[in-house]
């Protein structure tokens, strides 16, 4: 099972290391905040849209590549990741994504889903001037924990810091095109629960293994800790 620490060499910061997001006072959005507050959703999606191009430019690191090689020769028969960045997939693995992925967007009302790139296009269509300003920024080369080339600090799940004056009133979120409902990244935010079928699959694999290798995780989330407890 892997956590955020395995992706730091790819330029994606973690939460709990000495230089992680929590060290600067960062607080990730909770499920309850996202559901209850249009302002919280606007902040989340504006920051996530702005960071998306740089987030998807990250490449698998040595850890991702090494684990894929171990899978290929049969030394690993099941992989779980807490990460939402899909870097394991790009390295050739096919892990169970315990906390989901930002590469998919779901509707909280009707349950339909769409790919993230399609959602990005919808955001761009609703916010053409705002999107153009973001796209004209130079993303530069990924460096862990920062995005100095565009003057915005990157966060662990792909979003970046943007002053609220840039999104509070002028940023518009696309609704679900099937039911006009609220769209959310297909991730398990803090305060939410891992879907039961996914949690059960992870637990079954954990109980049946001969050894459990943990990489890049402090096991501070109960969904991960319970698998090795």
Q: What is the model's pTM?
A: 0.85
209 known member of a binding site: no
Are 182 and 41 contacting, i.e. CB atoms less than 8 angstroms apart?
yes
pLDDT score, position 1: 98
d(CA 97, CA 80): 6
Cα–Cα nearest to 173, from 103, 126, 130: 126
Q: Is 115 annotated as a binding-site member? A: no
pLDDT digits (tens, 9 = 90+) for 93-106: 999 999 999 999 99
Residue 135: pLDDT band (50, 70, 90) is confident
Catalytic residues: 99
Reading the block at residue 173, the tokens are 């979120």
Could you give the CA distance from residue 2 to residue 89 in angstroms, rounded to a whole number?
A: 13
Alpha-carbon distance of 176 to 99, in angstroms, equals 22
The alpha helices in the chain, defined as continuous H runs, are: 31-36, 38-57, 62-72, 87-91, 116-126, 128-135, 196-208, 222-228
């Amino acid at each position: 099972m892997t956590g955020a620490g395995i992706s730091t060499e790819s330029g994606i910061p973690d939460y709990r290391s000495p230089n992680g997001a929590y060290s600067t006072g960062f607080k990730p959005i909770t499920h309850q905040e996202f559901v209850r507050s249009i302002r919280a959703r606007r902040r989340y999606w504006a920051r996530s849209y702005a960071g998306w191009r740089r987030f998807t430019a990250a490449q698998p690191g040595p850890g991702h590549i090494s684990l894929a090689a171990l899978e290929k020769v049969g030394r690993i028969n099941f992989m779980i990741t807490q990460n939402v960045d899909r870097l394991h997939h790009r390295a050739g693995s096919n892990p169970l994504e315990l906390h989901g992925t930002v590469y998919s967007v779901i509707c909280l009302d009707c349950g339909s889903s769409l790919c993230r790139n399609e959602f990005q296009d919808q955001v761009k269509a609703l916010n053409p001037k705002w999107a153009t300003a973001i796209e004209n920024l130079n993303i530069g080369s990924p460096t862990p924990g920062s995005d100095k080339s565009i003057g915005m600090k990157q966060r662990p799940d792909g979003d970046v810091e943007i002053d609220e004056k840039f999104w509070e009133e002028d940023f518009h979120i696309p609704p679900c095109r099937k039911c006009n409902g609220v769209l959310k990244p297909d991730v398990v935010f803090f305060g939410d629960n891992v879907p039961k079928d996914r949690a059960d699959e992870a637990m079954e694999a954990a109980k049946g293994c001969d050894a459990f290798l943990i990489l890049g995780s402090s096991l501070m989330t109960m969904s991960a800790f319970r698998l090795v407890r």
